[in-house]
Structure 1
Amino acid sequence: MKRLKFTLILFLTISLNGFSQTPTDFLSKEFHKERRDLLRSKMPANSVTVVFANPLRNRANDVDYVFHQDPNFYYLTGYREPNGVLVLFSDDQTDADGNTYNEILYVQKRDKRAEQWNGKRLGVEGAKNELGFKMAFNASEFIESNIDFKKFDKVFIEKFNDDYRNLSGADVFDLVKSFKQKSGYDPNIFLSQIKKYVYSNVAETPIESSANVISIIDRMADRSSEIKNDELLNKYKSAESDKLKNEIKQKISLALKPKTNIDLSFLSANLATMREVKTAAELKLLTKAVRISAVGQIEVMKAMKPHMSETELQGIHEFVYKKYGAEYEGYPSIVGAGNNGCILHYIENNKTKVANDLVLMDLGAEYRGFTADVTRTIPANGKFTKAQKEIYDLVYEAQEAGIALYTIGEKMSAPNQAARKIINQGLFELGIIKSVDERHNYFPHGTSHHIGLDVHDPGNYNTFEENMVVTMEPGIYIPEGSACDKKYWGIGIRIEDDILVTKKGPVNLSAEAPRTTEEIEKMMAKKSVLDEFVLPNLDK
């Protein structure tokens, strides 16, 4: 009997501590509640926020893409499944039993058959126990609910993309459809940015200056079919009298102030402000994602050989991510050898041999929802040529100058301006451009963006604040056929690091991965654990 009892205890111990182990270092339910409370504090009285989970998306036939939650929905709830809705009220509500509440989470229903095929669902009880919601229901109950969205002064939502399929059950398609019906949502009353711009010009310009406005309409019509085919704008242009023009102008002015309680700007604007400054809990996870990505760069530096393919190098990076328990890549991995490195978002990664080219590697691990963004450019044979080093050192100098400006209160545009000045001067001195003021396409992008739950995290991009994490990524790209010395053709270089803004100055979270040409060559001379990892030849 004692032996049986010991065996049972051992089995339970293994089951609980071995087979059933899952990550425990996600953001806590307290974090998500604090974020909801902060958002609620920004909401005006008698308002409601509605946020939808991401849908499942189809890859091909009966295979879906691996599900990834909408970052804003995850930020506010911690829920990592599709087919959910968060309803957040500014003021306490009262149910039929007299209970008060100020938030409801709707989740996909537990289903034994579905869970047998696709894994366990959290369900209503899980939403309460693990996510900390007092009011949680199955998603189908949102469709059946009697929430009167029209009674609120403001209903805050994000713009619908309407790019989801209608599946069985209470999926996102049905949830959004139900909301639109309950709220009286009409997409036609929401103006696009370009239409808002043109309408504002019409509304604000005196009739006697209508010729100026018409020239703006014509110019924008050449760029946008939406403006070209707009009925009110065309009537304004063809109106034969000032009186008629003024009548149409009044209609356009009214269109700028739609009669609806639905607001598409409040939620995205406030979440951008909240998400651009990281909490201690966020910094812990984001820093780990960055360091994982830096280690990936190190291991590839040691393992890289000219006979390798871009795909193989991508695989080493992503193997390191998985080895550390990262769930995904934060974005499609970029591994571009030679001229491929001059393609900013090159993701084919299908060159079969990197040979003696430079290899630009822009990759980031996603760890517990947080995404790094680290780029290194290294010579496949372990040694920079003179021309490669000239361009690389110029990019490095520009990056160093930019990083130094990641200080509290500094304009976020300052690093880009500093880097651009250095690069233009350097390109001029190398004879690649004819003057420091020449307009060119060798440095076609900005240097700085927030990272977090998105690789391009939302933000206001005004000034640096403490605990922002922002990339610094200058680059120079000289594709084959450029109007310069051929020795520079096919050189594409980007150096990207993730910088934490602190009271003591900038902290480079990805500094573990070598950046200077000397450090890179030294690291590439080291032995790799993968040197002896040889697979059988399947083509013989």
Structure 2
Amino acid sequence: MKMLLTPSHLFAKLLLLLVITTYISPAILSTADAQHTWNTSYEKEERPLFTTHFSPGEFAERRNQVYSEIGSNAFAIIQGAPMPMGFQIFRQNNEFYYLSGIVSPHAYMILDGESQKATVYLQDRIERREYGEGKVLSYQDAELVMELSGIDDVKHISQLQADLEEYNIGQFTSVYTHLSPYENLGVTRSIANRTLGDRENDPFDNRPGRHQEFIKHLESLTSNLEMQNLDPITDELRKIKSPAEIELITISTKLHGEAIMESMRSTKVGILPQEMEAIARYIYWKNGVDGEGYYALTHVGPDAYMNHYHSSKRAARDGDMILMDYGPVYNYYTSDMGRMWPANGTFNPVQRELYTFYLEFYEAILNNIEIGLTPQQIMSNALAQFQPVFDQMTFSKDIYKKAADEFIDSYRQRLDNPRMGLGHGVGLAVHDVGDYSVPVEPGMVFVIEPQFRVPEENIYVRLEDMIVVTEDGVEVITDFVPRDIEGIEALMREEGMLQKIDIKLD
């Protein structure tokens, strides 16, 4: 017998539904419950307002090291990134993020060497924008900002000028700030300087860099103080990565490796660079990357001879070699790796000959990286290990032997320089800051990337691997991506993503 629902019964059921949808966690809602509401997700946003990958204490320790370096008679000021023009997602510059973790546009931070306190200056909330685009930490969130980040004080940006003028007439003798252009997504210090150099050659565009404009304002407000460069201090701090930083770099590297391996599997004669890059982008964005660390270096055939060539449209021909070097940024940290493989899946005799020569030398370098050794010592040991192998090698052409001799001789000549390097650092930037000509020590993350050329035939050979140094020793974290001939050919025999899903317009 069916029970008739009275108005009181209906009210009770509605009240129960209201209680469920208001107070019960969505995680415990059943499938049946999900049929009675528009959404089972209730929070307007689920993205965190502050990074979950670093503790406030880690940022505080970085600031403490800055205090120690600048001394009690100085303060440092760091300028954050502006809101980008166009439909671009805001991303904090590396310099500001490294010392605060705060991702708000047009922010400034003062690190007071005497009080050892950090003050962040933020703009007002733009309510209309937050209504349509989501929350951004602002001055109105001062208490929340201090709670999340561990920053000592938050002030309105309008107070910054007055505070700087007060510092100028106080007991301080120096002001530190970054004198180099700021890094950001896909922007290293060197590439930023290149852009500024190009701008200087434009007679109708004499804009300085944002850092230069800021320095000019800062000089006028702190004329009694000596301006000092903060870059050398933070560069050396950034050179030594924490376990949390290494974890993010490792994730970025794993994604990078998966993208290269999937591109190898998918390679058939006729593949286009854009197809391999599409594979990489799918893997990257599916796993939540911020974006690209640099534009894709996907080279087919002689494209590779121009080692930073990009946007190639060349289809791979039977007998071409492919080089891919294209890394993501994962929660502000990037990776750098390069691999080469034959378009048809099998190394021909010439490819095998030159690649084997290069790989033997390359592996000798990797095998001799040890904690406590300088790059000069590592290279000296690598050359000593490689020389007996090289003496037994034969080459099918005189130009190959000549190129090989010149390649090895160039490294012997570098041994005359005690400040020689092996490659470059990797971290917040793909060409990370810091001096890597010093002895290898725990916390370093760097790559090697020797470049071998045969100019007469536009032949270029390059591999690149990520080396992480911890207290436990040296680890090549890209070893899971094959670089030996047999491993590459075996991987290329597997079915790839493009063979499973190949969507093209007619």
TM-score for the superposition, normalised by structure 1:
0.73
Specify the alignment match of 2:464 in structure 1.
496
Specify the alignment match of 1:113 in structure 2.
128
- How many angstroms does 1:158 deviate by? 1.7
Within 5 Å, which residues of 2 pair with 1:116-131? 116=131, 118-124=133-139, 125=141, 126-131=144-149
Asked if 1:143 corresponds to 2:161, the answer is yes
Specify the alignment match of 1:277 in structure 2.
240
Specify the alignment match of 1:263 in structure 2.
228
SS of equivalent to 1:511: coil
- Return the letter of the residue paired with 1:15: S
SS of equivalent to 1:91: coil
Aligned-residue RMSD, C-alpha: 3.5
SS of equivalent to 1:159: coil
- Return the letter of the residue paired with 2:179: K
Asked if 1:508 corresponds to 2:476, the answer is yes
> For residues 100-136 of structure 1, what are the alpha-carbon distances to aligned partners after superposition, in whole Å with 9 as ceiling and x for unaligned?
x722111233111233455421113242232221211
Within 5 Å, which residues of 2 pair with 1:11-50? 14-15=40-41, 20-21=46-47, 25-50=52-77
Q: 1:334 touches 1:347 (CA, 8 Å); kept in 2? A: yes
Q: 1:376 touches 1:494 (CA, 8 Å); kept in 2? A: yes
- Return the letter of the residue paired with 1:33: A
SS of equivalent to 1:320: helix
Q: 1:407 touches 1:506 (CA, 8 Å); kept in 2? A: yes
> For residues 14-61 of structure 1, what are the alpha-carbon distances to aligned partners after superposition, in whole Å with 9 as ceiling and x for unaligned?
435896255964322221111101221222221111111133455xxx
Q: 2:334 touches 2:428 (CA, 8 Å); kept in 1? A: yes
Pairing partner for 2:101 from 78, 83, 89 = 78
Specify the alignment match of 2:223 in structure 1.
184
CA distance in 2, matches of 1:350, 1:391: 26
Specify the alignment match of 1:89 in structure 2.
112
- How many angstroms does 1:512 deviate by? 1.4
Asked if 1:377 corresponds to 2:377, the answer is no
SS of equivalent to 1:270: helix
Specify the alignment match of 2:445 in structure 1.
469
Question: Using a 3 Å threshold, how does the CA distance of structure 1 residues 531 and 25 change in structure 2: closer, same or farther?
Answer: farther
Q: 1:308 touches 1:353 (CA, 8 Å); kept in 2? A: yes
Q: Percent identity?
A: 25
> For residues 197-228 of structure 1, what are the alpha-carbon distances to aligned partners after superposition, in whole Å with 9 as ceiling and x for unaligned?
xxxxxxxxxxxxxxxxxxxxxxxxxxxxxxxx
Question: Using a 3 Å threshold, how does the CA distance of structure 1 residues 346 and 415 change in structure 2: closer, same or farther?
Answer: farther
Stretch of structure 1 that moved more, 351-360 or 314-323? 351-360
- How many angstroms does 1:11 deviate by? 8.1
CA distance in 2, matches of 1:21, 1:174: 33
- How many angstroms does 1:272 deviate by? 2.1
CA distance in 2, matches of 1:439, 1:448: 16
- Return the letter of the residue paired with 1:472: I
- How many angstroms does 1:68 deviate by? 3.7
CA distance in 2, matches of 1:174, 1:537: 47
Question: Using a 3 Å threshold, how does the CA distance of structure 1 residues 141 and 435 change in structure 2: closer, same or farther?
Answer: closer
TM-score for the superposition, normalised by structure 2:
0.77
CA distance in 2, matches of 1:382, 1:306: 9
- How many angstroms does 1:354 deviate by? 5.5
- Return the letter of the residue paired with 1:478: V
Q: 1:310 touches 1:354 (CA, 8 Å); kept in 2? A: no
- How many angstroms does 1:370 deviate by? 0.8
Stretch of structure 1 that moved more, 470-479 or 521-530? 470-479
> For residues 405-437 of structure 1, what are the alpha-carbon distances to aligned partners after superposition, in whole Å with 9 as ceiling and x for unaligned?
221111124455666785995899533254876
Within 5 Å, which residues of 2 pair with 1:223-372? 261-264=226-229, 267-353=230-316, 356-372=319-335
- How many angstroms does 1:505 deviate by? 3.5
Q: 2:181 touches 2:211 (CA, 8 Å); kept in 1? A: no
Specify the alignment match of 2:21 in structure 1.
7
Specify the alignment match of 2:191 in structure 1.
none
CA distance in 2, matches of 1:447, 1:427: 25
Specify the alignment match of 2:175 in structure 1.
155
- Return the letter of the residue paired with 1:460: D
Specify the alignment match of 1:236 in structure 2.
none
- Return the letter of the residue paired with 1:20: E
Asked if 1:525 corresponds to 2:493, the answer is yes
Specify the alignment match of 2:503 in structure 1.
535
Q: 1:471 touches 1:499 (CA, 8 Å); kept in 2? A: yes
CA distance in 2, matches of 1:395, 1:345: 20
Q: Gaps (5+ residues) in structure 2?
A: 1-14, 28-39, 183-195, 200-204, 415-419
Q: 1:303 touches 1:528 (CA, 8 Å); kept in 2? A: yes
CA distance in 2, matches of 1:9, 1:176: 52
Q: Gaps (5+ residues) in structure 1?
A: 93-100, 186-259, 483-488
- How many angstroms does 1:508 deviate by? 1.0
